[in-house]
Amino acid sequence: MTSSMTATLLGIEPFSSTAPVELRSIGNEAEVQAVICATYRQVLGNEHVMQSERLNSAESMLKQGNLSVRDFVRAIALSELYRTKFFQNVYQIRFIELNFKHLLGRAPRDQAEISAHVDRYINQGYEAEINSYLDSEEYQSSFGDMIVPYHRGFSTASNQPTVAFNRMFQLYRGYANSDRAQGNRKGRLTEELALNTASPVRTSLSGGELMGTAGGDRSQLYRIRVSQGASNRTTQIRRSISEYLVAYEQLSSTMQRLNQRGSRIVSITAA
């Protein structure tokens, strides 16, 4: 676990000092309201929710005991509200990064996780992508049916790599900040996941750094190998492997283009 002093320096003290929010009794109005507020805050990335945007029907079902907290989370993530805020007008990789943060409380671990979710969205659609987090064994073991998801990526758990701590900070910009206020439509972790590196963490008070794995060499060229799958417009006899040689600065934009075309990234290595 993160010490209280470190949590204060890093600006994550509200997460480290607060117990998970759980719905134990639907007869406790204050508890139900706390769950509703915490769920909106987590799933919508700390975005303010106007009264007209609230999912009144889902809230009512939760209050009556006809909906679990997990399914209330699902209702928000599948809603037009979530699509508008985090799916429309953003790159696929950014959408997937935020799904990990909002629904599992952590950052993606590696490029393979990103690629798997890109494939799922392309082949099965939006609903399948969202449900894959909520129906996962990881979600069940972490939150069950009645606990509101929370940011687990700030804890140094034994079952997660050290770099996960650093990467979570690339998706986190302060307790009072919101994901949309960051104004970033592209993925924040694209290069780090591709190169298996982690950026340093800056403390909120001193501006100092808690160093992670060294970043990529900006003078280095990288070889991206991709497998082009079948599209709806062509008959694909077999998958073809293509290679792209790109500079460090072009990695992010190149990977975004490849993912949008439906290509699967097989490997990224130094040239």
Return the percentage of the chain with pLDDT > 70, whole number. Answer: 59
What is the pLDDT confidence band of residue 8, given thresholds at 50, 70 and 90?
Answer: very low
Q: Region 36-63: what's the mean pLDDT?
A: 93
Phi, psi (deg, nearest 5) at residue 242: -120, 155
Provide φ and ψ at 225, rounded to 5°.
-105, 130
pLDDT category of residue 71 using cuts at 50, 70 and 90: very high
Highest mean pLDDT among 104-113, 142-151, 156-165: 142-151
Q: Which H or E run includes 192?
A: helix 190-195
User: What does the alpha-carbon distance between residue 101 and residue 117 come to, in Å, rounded to a whole number?
Assistant: 14
User: Does the structure show a pLDDT above 50 at 190?
Assistant: yes
* CATH number at 4-210: 1.10.3130.20
3 falls in which pLDDT band (50, 70, 90)?
Answer: very low
Label residue 89 left, alpha or beta by phi (over 0 means left) and psi (-120 to 50 means alpha): left
- Which tokens hold the place of 56? 């009144």
Domain layout of the chain by residue ranges: 4-210, 221-270
Q: Which residue(s) pair with 263 in the sheet?
A: 228
Domain 221-270 in CATH 3.30.1490? yes
Mean pLDDT of 51-78: 97
Q: DSSP label at 147?
A: B
C-alpha angle 104/106/107, rounded to 5°?
A: 120
In degrees, rounded to 5, the angle at the alpha carbon of residue 194 between the alpha carbons of residues 189 and 195 is: 105
- Determine contact, residues 73/134, Cβ cutoff 8 Å: yes
